Chain A
Amino acid sequence: MSSVKKYEYDVLIIGAGGAGLRSAIEASDAGVKVGVVCKSLLGKAHTVMAEGGAAAAIGNIDEKDNWKIHFADTMRGGQYLNNPKMAEIHAKESPARIFELEAWGALFDRTKDGKILQRHFGGHRYRRLAHVGDRTGLEMIRTLQDHGIHQGIDFHMECTVLNLLKDGDRIAGAFGYDREKGRFLVFETSAVVLATGGIGRAYKVTSNSWEYTGDGQTLAYDCGAELIDMEFVQFHPTGMVWPPSVKGILVTEGVRGEGGVLRNSEGRRFMFDDIPEAYKSSTADSEEEAWQYTIGNTEARRPPELLTRDHVARCIIREIKEGRGSPHGGVFLDIAWIKEKLPNAVEHIKRKLPSMYHQFKELAEIDITTEVMEVGPTTHYIMGGVRVNAETQMTNVPGLFAAGEVAAGLHGANRLGGNSLSDLLVFGRRSGEFAAKFSKENGKAAIDDRQVQSATRAALAPFERAGGSGGSGVYQVQQELQDSMQSLVGIVRTESELKEGLEVISRLKERSKVVGVEGNREYNPGWHTALDLHNLMTISEAIARCALMRKESRGAHFRLDFPDKSEGFAEIIMVISKDADGLMQVNSEAIVPLTEEHKQIIEDNK
């Protein structure tokens, strides 16, 4: 049997994105011993890619803004399937979390009177996103990283957790390997915080990196925690579509926030054609009014390009399907047009959207200050994930916590842009606080060596099958899964395709059990991909099953065979759990009810 290296912590945090780092800082401030494990180097987690900003009702620009309006916007965006308690906590605590970043060295863009500048984003009534050009995520992760490295936290970079270890009902530790040598690691710990991010790699066209293979969701599910809302996958309306090798890379909503408009091949600004009832009164009805809003006229209503992401994505799909798309299968996004309105437009665009300018220039040879972009929907974010307590972030497994994109509840059926970065800070902090508290109150549990041994055997199995996979390597299995998820469990869904998708997943699951890998355990991406397959299969199955159950269209979930919202599903969420035989179960449950105060706030802000 391979030897394993052991580490002991009070709190182990899996993931070093915004949520994991904020959690680690809080836990170590509480005086417990903290370890952080992450698959990549420090500072490279997905959070680094976030562009547009972090939403917080600070009210620096629009003084009328406050937590209640942010709460109401979040609930409306999530089609009221959100956990209202989480939405309330998030809206109340975001401003303090942003100020705290400033105290740790973050430098946000400024207003004229020297305060933090805030920008427009879809679904937010007021200018609410604290930002740094279009590299807000970099500013955030670097600030947390640079603060965290002085806190005595142990970082295990380029290590992957494969299994959680339990002692009876509660968490006892985690098992994983290091990338460099392929050595096995055991972490003994009183509490685990999952902060592993999303699932984008289950799809072919995605803005997400290789890290996003649904690890945290699967680790939680496998050890008895519940997943909710898995049918709600956010397809961001604007990803690059050309050239093919960059297909899916994100084009920030900030482009539209700064005045970018969507047009079809006929030059029509098609977003004016279909404005949902709930947003009619708050959306501009002329191009001039939309522009007035962009430049800060508070009397004007918002441009239709800033409607929620699910809606914008579907309008784009409609234009493409009906033959009014761009040459490479997208639509046109135009920011260059603002030169008609602004004398210094070229400089303005470069200043406000420097990395978009750079990205298009380098990767597509397009100058966005003079030319239009081609864009189309891309898999971006999962609203669903691990079910947690709204205040403590603990799952139904004692000692297991989750925060950030891997957790669910805050966003309901659709997330508003900018609400993720603030989510990471607010609930990252809470998860750290309560995980530290749990560890102090409960101490350590015992590690069961048999669990470690079986985890080791499973991890090594792909090598034993080397050469025996009949030419269907791990990469091919992964690609087939991505293709099927894209075409069968994507933006537009039907019962027959979802069923077909489930069949494909179950076939690929069998194949993933027999594929082998070549080479040795040192930095071997083939092996790592083989080990990720189990996670990709698990979350793909969860998404397809929930999508099948929800026979209506709501938020990010769109069923062609049930294109409207249905009352019967308005107050129901889907809950995934593993039954005694190891099979996946989906049950529907009533949503967390609104309190009287919540109802009043929502009514007041209709």
Chain B
Amino acid sequence: MASVTFKVWRGNKEGGEFKEYSTDITEGMVVLDALFQIQADAANDLAIRWNCKAGKCGSCSAEVNGYPRLLCMTRMSSLPQDRPVKIEPMKSFPVIKDLVCDVSWNYEAKKRIKKFKPRKPDAADGTWRMQQEDVDRVQEFRKCIECFLCQDVCHVLREHHLHENFIGPSLLVYTAALEMHPLDVEDRTEDLRKHQGIGYCNITKCCTNVCPENITITDNAIIPLKERLVDKFYDPLKKILNLFSGKS
């Protein structure tokens, strides 16, 4: 059993500071376990958001030694233990308390993306037929657990605070899932350009690097969406062809 020191950010939207706590680490522990021990022994009111403790719900996002992580999936053994482990809240969103941020913006922004609209059912019983190959591509995006770590790392939100103009990688993944859904017939390209600010993304790929679900955000979601935009708005021939095929 080894004692490890943590520097945990404590505070609220008025301000705060790092406080030091030490706790004993045993085999297999993740950062969230260590924080629970601190919460039970030394800081009863330490605010942490979590649910599943298995990397499935995307609640426990924070920054560990400056890197956006799920607290429940970060093993203590993966961190250097000769110096304090630094834990702080995400930076792209306002803090509520300690490690908990106000992420409601993500929910509001999502509402403004046009909802799923399926083509007419393929079979008389109201069901559809889809091939697994066609579903695969979208299933990658639907793995998203809405942890918002990609939103946290994206400089457009984190440094430039362009929340009004840009929906961020997580919601671009969501839009890609709708746009590439084999049944969907809605068109969201115009919105992507005008209201959702896809143009702000300059393909730095930082978002892809932090995604705990290993979604290839930039290459598989954002770039294809950008290509659709180009096709649609700058390629008149494609535009006409699209009229016949029903959808781009």
Please report A residues at the B interface, Cβ cutoff 8 Å: 40-46, 48-49, 99, 102-105, 107, 109-110, 113-116, 132-133, 135, 138-139, 142, 146-147, 149-150, 155, 157, 180, 209-211, 242-246, 249-250, 355, 358-359, 362-364, 473-476, 517-520, 522-527
B102 surroundings in chain A (CB, below 8 A): 180
Contact A363-B26, Cβ < 8 Å, known A105-B116, A138-B56: no
Q: Is the CB of A209 within 8 A of B135?
A: no
Q: Kindly state the separation between the CA atoms of A43 and B147 in the bound complex, as whole angstroms.
A: 11
Q: Is the CB of B111 within 8 A of A150?
A: yes
A48 surroundings in chain B (CB, below 8 A): 51-52, 56-57, 145
A selection of 23 A-B contacts at a CB cut-off of 8 Å is A40-B49, A41-B107, A99-B127, A107-B135, A110-B135, A132-B139, A146-B110, A149-B107, A149-B110, A157-B104, A180-B96, A209-B53, A210-B51, A244-B27, A245-B28, A246-B30, A355-B56, A362-B75, A364-B28, A473-B40, A522-B47, A523-B98, A525-B47
Q: Is the CB of B143 within 8 A of A138?
A: yes
Q: Is the CB of A522 within 8 A of B12?
A: yes
Does any Cβ of A come within 8 Å of B178's Cβ?
Answer: yes
Chain B proximity of A365: nearest CB distance (Å): 8
A114 surroundings in chain B (CB, below 8 A): 128-131
- Residue in A closest to B107 when the chains form the complex, CB atoms: A42
Q: Kindly state the separation between the CA atoms of A464 and B129 in the bound complex, as whole angstroms.
A: 62
Q: Please tell me which one of the listed residues A107, A243, A474, A519 contacts residue B27 in the complex, with CB atoms under 8 A apart.
A: A243
Q: Is the CB of B139 within 8 A of A105?
A: no
Q: Is the CB of B45 within 8 A of A526?
A: yes
Q: Which of A133, A211, A355 has the most CB of B within 10 A?
A: A355
Q: Which of B46, B57, B102 has the most CB of A within 10 A?
A: B57
A242 surroundings in chain B (CB, below 8 A): 28
Q: Is the CB of A99 within 8 A of B29?
A: no
- Residue in B closest to A60 when the chains form the complex, CB atoms: B127
Q: Is the CB of A110 within 8 A of B40?
A: no
Q: Please tell me which one of the listed residues B44, B56, B111, B115 contacts residue A473 in the complex, with CB atoms under 8 A apart.
A: B44
Q: Kindly state the separation between the CA atoms of A362 and B73 in the bound complex, as whole angstroms.
A: 7
- Residue in B closest to A40 when the chains form the complex, CB atoms: B51
Q: Which of B33, B73, B116 has the most CB of A within 10 A?
A: B116
Q: Is the CB of B45 within 8 A of A518?
A: yes
Q: A44-B52, A142-B142, A518-B44 are in contact. List 5 more A-B contacts (CB 8 A).
A: A48-B51, A243-B28, A363-B28, A525-B45, A525-B46
Chain B proximity of A148: nearest CB distance (Å): 10
Q: Kindly state the separation between the CA atoms of A193 and B161 in the bound complex, as whole angstroms.
A: 40
Does any Cβ of A come within 8 Å of B217's Cβ?
Answer: no
Is the contact region of chain B dominated by helix, strand, or loop, or is it mixed? Answer: loop
Q: Please tell me which one of the listed residues A44, A115, A519 contacts residue B127 in the complex, with CB atoms under 8 A apart.
A: A115
Q: Kindly state the separation between the CA atoms of A157 and B108 in the bound complex, as whole angstroms.
A: 13
Q: Is the CB of B48 within 8 A of A525?
A: yes
Task: Categorize the interface residue count of chain B.
Answer: 35 or more
Q: Please tell me which one of the listed residues A99, A109, A524 contacts residue B135 in the complex, with CB atoms under 8 A apart.
A: A109
A109 surroundings in chain B (CB, below 8 A): 132, 135
Q: Kindly state the separation between the CA atoms of A114 and B128 in the bound complex, as whole angstroms.
A: 8
Does any Cβ of A come within 8 Å of B54's Cβ?
Answer: yes
A359 surroundings in chain B (CB, below 8 A): 54-55
Q: Is the CB of A146 within 8 A of B115?
A: yes
Chain A proximity of B61: nearest CB distance (Å): 11
B44 surroundings in chain A (CB, below 8 A): 473-475, 517-519, 524-526
Q: Is the CB of B29 within 8 A of A245?
A: yes
Q: Is the CB of A210 within 8 A of B50?
A: yes
B131 surroundings in chain A (CB, below 8 A): 110, 114
Does any Cβ of A come within 8 Å of B181's Cβ?
Answer: yes
Q: Is the CB of A49 within 8 A of B116?
A: no
B46 surroundings in chain A (CB, below 8 A): 525
Q: Is the CB of B26 within 8 A of A147?
A: no
Does any Cβ of A come within 8 Å of B59's Cβ?
Answer: yes
Q: Please tell me which one of the listed residues B50, B100, B111, B128 contacts residue A102 in the complex, with CB atoms under 8 A apart.
A: B128
> Shortest 9 CB-CB distances between A and B: which pairs?
A243-B28, A114-B129, A519-B45, A526-B44, A105-B116, A523-B47, A523-B97, A475-B40, A245-B33
B185 surroundings in chain A (CB, below 8 A): none
Q: Is the CB of A209 within 8 A of B116?
A: no
Q: Is the CB of B115 within 8 A of A150?
A: yes
Does any Cβ of A come within 8 Å of B39's Cβ?
Answer: yes
- Residue in B closest to A208 when the chains form the complex, CB atoms: B52
Chain A proximity of B208: nearest CB distance (Å): 17
Q: Please tell me which one of the listed residues A132, A363, A522 contacts residue B75 in the complex, with CB atoms under 8 A apart.
A: A363
A250 surroundings in chain B (CB, below 8 A): 54
Does any Cβ of A come within 8 Å of B16's Cβ?
Answer: no
Q: Which of A155, A210, A243, A474 has the most CB of B within 10 A?
A: A243
Q: Is the CB of A40 within 8 A of B59?
A: yes
Q: Kindly state the separation between the CA atoms of A107 and B131 in the bound complex, as whole angstroms.
A: 11
Q: Is the CB of B73 within 8 A of A363?
A: yes
Q: Please tell me which one of the listed residues A44, A149, A473, A476 contacts residue B51 in the complex, with CB atoms under 8 A apart.
A: A44
A211 surroundings in chain B (CB, below 8 A): 51
B199 surroundings in chain A (CB, below 8 A): none
Q: Kindly state the separation between the CA atoms of A99 and B123 in the bound complex, as whole angstroms.
A: 12
Contact A244-B28, Cβ < 8 Å, known A43-B146, A147-B115, A149-B111: yes
